[in-house]
Structure 1
Amino acid sequence: MSRYLAFLRGINLGKRQIRMADLVPCLAAMGLSEIKTILASGNVRFAAVADTTLKPCIEAAIARQFGFDVGVVLRSEDEIAAMLAAAPFGQLDPQADVARHVMLFDAPLPADLALLNRPLHTEVLRIDAREIYLACYRQPNGRYTEGLIELGKQLDQQLGKDYLVTTRNWNTIEKALA
């Protein structure tokens, strides 16, 4: 058995509601074990036999159970541990008024990916094979993440619909293995 984290894209927005208490039995019925939801926002840790069909099987089970499609980005526990060990936000001033985020992709990003028109209050700290690490600075209106929407639109145009992406606050990733 291997341990994984599933990050569900775009749930609990509008009518796309999934209670985490209802997600657990859905995934257990697939044969997943040691299921734990993280922060009640579409983050699930579980154990399963390593299998290339795991992602599409989870997506199909969710669609059957809840009546709408949900994209899933999977990472192994080892991949999350490596992300944490790499300390992608280590160069940030610990006193900075900043929100740390990571965009998780389900496929490797093109090597020549360039994010040229990003909002000035959103700093791209690092681009890895399937992650983009972002520092989002506080705006005069008190918000941090308005630039993530703009950046997401730019990536959709650049990459097309072949890439599934979901964004998480880095605090969520830090809690993923706890």
Structure 2
Amino acid sequence: MNQIWGAFLRGINLGNRRMKMAELKDCLEAAGFAEVKTIAASGNARLRASGAEDTIKPRLEKAIVDRFGFPVGVVLRARDELEAMLDDHPFGMVDRKADFTRHVLMFDQPLPEGIVLDSLPGNTEILRIDPREIYIAAYRQPNGRYTERVEEVLKPLYARVGKSNLDTMRNWNTIEKIL
């Protein structure tokens, strides 16, 4: 089926893994993807493609490694999945007066059932765990930072799933802009 996809690249524009979004757009168009638009400079693209996730993902990853010379994992979400995330997010339960940032950690495979993560109240709060997403509120700390303890909260998750399940975290503003 020909549809809109959100592609979220993991670990780019860090160290020597640099790419300009205009070059990413050119790369994806050259690989046959249509209506390509990049969002922010952290490896987010909206595109139109035919096929299922398990055929589009390897095409994207191959095009990127061929063009940029390093492998990049891609987490994909179909338009209907993105719309469902936008329609049913849990951020409304957070006090609107609080100084926090909204994030979603997306996985390319379903998480094991029964995952439980403890929040750090006033710091990093796990709002909801879905099969392939974790919604996080990160509160501003006295040093002005928001997300510095997220890894600590997620450590039990990574101990359980290891590195076999590709993930990438995005600010919720990016999810709101992707469609």
Aligned equivalent of 2:97: 95
C-alpha displacement at 1:39, in angstroms?
1.4
C-alpha displacement at 1:162, in angstroms?
1.0
In the alignment, the residues of structure 2 paired with residue 64 and residue 152 of structure 1 have an alpha-carbon distance, to the nearest angstrom, of 32
Q: SS of 1:146's equivalent?
A: coil
Q: 1:169 aligns with which of 165, 171, 175?
A: 171
TM-score calculated relative to the size of structure 2: 0.93
Aligned equivalent of 1:20: 21
Q: Residues 15 and 119 of structure 1: is their aligned pair in 2 closer, same or farther, counting only changes over 3 Å?
A: farther
Q: 1:134 aligns with which of 136, 143, 152?
A: 136
Aligned equivalent of 1:39: 40
Gaps of 5+ in 2: none
TM-score calculated relative to the size of structure 1: 0.94
Q: SS of 1:135's equivalent?
A: strand
Q: 1:66 aligns with which of 65, 68, 76?
A: 68
Matches within 5 A, 1:97-116: 97-116=99-118
C-alpha displacement at 1:122, in angstroms?
0.6
2:85 equivalent to 1:83: yes
Gaps of 5+ in 1: none
2:117 touches 2:154 (CA, 8 Å); kept in 1?
Answer: no
Q: What do you get for the CA RMSD once the two structures are aligned? A: 1.3
Write the letter of the residue equivalent to 2:97. Answer: Q
Q: Residues 105 and 36 of structure 1: is their aligned pair in 2 closer, same or farther, counting only changes over 3 Å?
A: same
Q: SS of 1:100's equivalent?
A: strand
C-alpha displacement at 1:63, in angstroms?
0.9
In the alignment, the residues of structure 2 paired with residue 168 and residue 57 of structure 1 have an alpha-carbon distance, to the nearest angstrom, of 22
1:109 touches 1:130 (CA, 8 Å); kept in 2?
Answer: yes
C-alpha displacement at 1:44, in angstroms?
0.1
Q: SS of 1:70's equivalent?
A: coil
Write the letter of the residue equivalent to 2:46. Answer: R
Write the letter of the residue equivalent to 2:136. Answer: L
Write the letter of the residue equivalent to 1:160. Answer: G
Q: Quick check: 3-12 or 153-162, which moved more?
A: 153-162
C-alpha displacement at 1:152, in angstroms?
4.3
